[in-house]
Amino acid sequence: MGENLGQLVELEISNVAHGGAMVARHEGRVVFVSDAIPGETVRAVITDDAKSAFWRADAVEILDASPHRQDHVWSAASIARAPLERVGGAEFGHIAIEHQRELKRRVLADAVSRMAGVDSPVVVEPVPGAVDGTGWRTRVRLHVADDGTVGGFAARSHRVIPVTDLPLATPAIAAAAPLGRRARHNAGGHIDIVAPSRGDTLVLDGNQGDSITEVVGDREFHLAAGGFWQVHTHAAATLTGAVQEAIDADLFDPLAENLDLYGGVGLLAAAVGDRFGPETRITTVESDARATEFATANLAEWAAAGAVTARADRFLARATADGRRLDGATVILDPPRSGAGKGVVGQLAALHPTQIVYVACDPVALARDLALFASSGYRLNPNQDDTTGAGGIRAFDLFPNTHHVEAVARLVRE
């Protein structure tokens, strides 16, 4: 393979694929095309022909534009640049924001239908913020080339592209970013910039730094400066409300062995406690010991709440070995992008919790896990207060101008 690299081809874009690329066909072969929109005709350059089943290409000229095309929100990622000089991280920035949400909806609905056999009328809900989907990132990682150049990685590459602005970042992040400078002391590494909701913006050179304070409603959360926290300015509040609303109060038992798996510093465990009161029993399980330490403090006001340092699969395996059951329990499940997977789903289902609220940042991983849960007797189910009509799934545009989407699903045991 390789003889087709650099070839210019004319393509009609038919659909959107998981991962942000668009779908076309060339001589019967599927081509995944960046910087295009369904319905467009583009001229594209072949960038990867290593697999016989499909190729990859980058659009270089729009021959018939979609009415949803706009000037890219980040000039460093624009189609006006040569493909190798386009920075990654804003792969939907050339698409009008409302249509971005429609494409994300299609990907999510298609994945859930194909993999889990569920036809969901889910919509992708906007969250507060700028109407063009800029200015929302409270955490940014910049990369440093061997010569000290600071910037972002090129799409699907580890090559550093120098940039002069960060339109997806909050103003505080943009002001603190060392753009246009050389960071020779950190050559080959990265720089994290964090703008907490309370306190100064921090520039971290590869370390977690001191503790910071994030505020959600009237509640404070403490965590390591470099620790995990939701990136969008309104993400933590959005997910707090979505998880609270997803739990069916008629099925919730505050004295059951309720769990918050992959719980981080306790954000969603606190959401449960805030809804159901001071007697709520809930344990957050997190593999990062420092995050668990912060979770213990963040959940201190609930006498029956606690935090355990453990991998979710090992925690569930111990629970099974001890003969424990989760009858009557509600489980919050917020796994990494790869999803919970067969092992965790099987272990959790075998413990028989009453309801599961699944927070997902990847549509395909969610759909795969929904299918696994279905095979263990759990089905999607909206609670009695659900007015969205989405059949037990809600989705939120927490990553505007990218292909990513967050979803919250509720499952009950049949």
CATH number at residue 300: 3.40.50.150
The reported pLDDT for the residue numbered 3 is 79
One domain for residues 267 and 362: yes
- Indicate whether 383 pLDDT > 80: no
One domain for residues 122 and 262: yes
Give bridge partners of residue 357 from the DSSP assignment: 332, 410
Q: Is 334 flagged in the annotation as binding? A: yes
One domain for residues 251 and 323: yes
The reported pLDDT for the residue numbered 154 is 94
The reported pLDDT for the residue numbered 206 is 64
Beta carbons of 144 and 177 less than 8 angstroms apart: no
Q: Is 245 flagged in the annotation as binding? A: no
pLDDT bracket for residue 51 (50, 70, 90): confident
Q: What is the mean pLDDT of residues 263-283?
A: 97
The reported pLDDT for the residue numbered 79 is 97
One domain for residues 356 and 382: yes
The reported pLDDT for the residue numbered 388 is 45
CB neighbours of 71 closer than 8 A, spacing ≥ 6?
78, 94
Does residue 293 lie within any of the structural domains?
yes
**Helix 341-350 and helix 363-375: axis angle, to 10°?**
40
- Indicate whether 252 pLDDT > 70: yes
| Angle at CA of residue 29, ends 24 and 33, nearest 5° | 35
What's the CA gap between 42 and 187, in Å, rounded? 38
- Structural domain for 309, as ranges: 105-129+232-413
Largest Cα span, the chain? 67
Residue 361 known to be catalytic: yes
- Indicate whether 382 pLDDT > 80: no
Q: Which two tokens stand for residue 382?
A: 């909206």
Q: Is 230 flagged in the annotation as binding? A: yes
Q: What stretch of H or E contains 330?
A: strand 330-333
One domain for residues 314 and 365: yes
What is the DSSP pairing of strand 139-144 with strand 150-153? antiparallel
The reported pLDDT for the residue numbered 305 is 97
Catalytic residue among 176, 246, 285, 361: 361
- Indicate whether 112 pLDDT > 60: yes
Q: What is the mean pLDDT of residues 79-93?
A: 96
Q: Is the pTM of this model over 0.75?
A: yes
Number of structural domains the chain divides into: 3
Residue (of 334, 344, 355, 341) closest to 406 by Cα position: 334
pLDDT bracket for residue 381 (50, 70, 90): confident
Does residue 80 lie within any of the structural domains?
no
- Indicate whether 6 pLDDT > 80: yes
